[in-house]
Structure 1
Amino acid sequence: MNLDHVFVCGHPALDFAATLRARRSTRFEMFVTPERLNAWYLKSGLVDAITPADGQDVREAQALRESLYRLITNRRLGEEFDREALAVVNGAARKVPVTPQLTVAGRHNEATPGQALATVARQAVELLSGADAPLLKECGNPECTRIYIDRSRGMRRQWCGMESCGNKIKAAAYRARKRTAAPA
């Protein structure tokens, strides 16, 4: 599976929750090392520079991610929030977040992994309590478990992203139609 971090969900907290991929089948972990965690924080644009993470930072990020996924799923399905997951997310959101600084070159966000994690938790609180919460959908690819914000006209979007899932599903459907239409 591709080791690149992908940002197709429409919100940083959703992209963070999607770092454990294919939850129903192969379960592919993106945060396998502290370096991979830091790479996510940098590629997401959450920070411009980050102090090195360690194993404890990875475990905390994974715990927050799983709690976020539980709450996002609860919201999407119209269920009551899981109390344990709420405690994890709210606990992380109470910590010191990334603090932007103004430099002669412009805005600069330098943080610790803990500050970056607190920022993700705060973004999740805003998402799950905000106007975009009713727009949450799960990708239509049975192998994908990403949840995204569907802002399409008529809420007809089916996949987390065309490049990641949509093209695969459309190509498979095309091949199936061609096989069915082939002369016997």
Structure 2
Amino acid sequence: MNLDHVFPCGDPALDFAATLRARRSVRFEMFVSPDRLDAWYLESGLVDAVIPSRESDVERAIEVREAIYALVSARLAGQEYDRGALAVVNGAARKPPATPQLTPAGRWTEASSEEVLSTVARHAVELLSGPDVPLMKECGNPECTRVYIDRSRGMRRQWCGMESCGNKLKAQAYRARKKQAQASAAR
């Protein structure tokens, strides 16, 4: 399987919300087709097989994703939840979730898009009502809008992931220091 999605956030609901990247600048939508949505479901590890999604499933997934992001953002800002976002997430969570089955080969989960979306919404409910709330942080990269769970020692993690944002910002800071040192030496 070719992995196209990344999962640096520490919770499936946060990784799902992060599928619209760079919300404050040039937005990058990951769910451009039913195939891309199905790929996320599979790559997330929430299911082993998914019944192929339709365009309406993508629209519903984006609606739930945006509601999750609104609730997470409100929680980070210490604001009240938007009632519409609550209704969307709770409505999705009320649907039957993806249900694992025991097979001779082990655990196997096949689900519809609606069932996987219910599972994601349930993760959001658990996250936003659970003990990890104080560990949620937004990435320190101003271009990135991912929120992640900081389980690092001393809660000093600054980026959603070193591969994506951390290395990029460290390289930028290094180049800026080098440029400044060269400018100072030239004087």
TM-score by length of 2: 0.96
Which amino acid in the other structure matches residue 12 of structure 2?
Answer: P
Which amino acid in the other structure matches residue 84 of structure 2?
Answer: E
2:96 alignment partner, SS class: coil
1:97 alignment partner, SS class: coil
Q: Percent identity?
A: 72
Match of 1:81 in 2: 81
Match of 1:41 in 2: 41
Match of 1:165 in 2: 165
Shift of 1:152: 1.3
Match of 1:122 in 2: 122
Shift of 1:4: 2.3
Q: Structure 1 regions of 5+ residues with no counterpart? A: none
Match of 1:92 in 2: 92
TM-score by length of 1: 0.97
Matched residues in 1 for 2:161 and 2:101: separation? Answer: 33
Q: Which residues of 2 match residues 124-143 of structure 1 at below 5 A? A: 124-143=124-143
Deviations 1:32-91 (Å, cap 9, x if unpaired)? 000000000000001000110000000000000000000001111111111110000000
1:45 alignment partner, SS class: coil
Q: Which residues of 2 match residues 6-85 of structure 1 at below 5 A? A: 6-85=6-85
Deviations 1:76-120 (Å, cap 9, x if unpaired)? 111111111000000000001001100000000000001000000
Match of 1:144 in 2: 144
Q: What number of residue pairs does the alignment pair up?
A: 182
CA RMSD in angstroms, aligned pairs only = 0.9
Match of 1:155 in 2: 155
Match of 1:102 in 2: 102
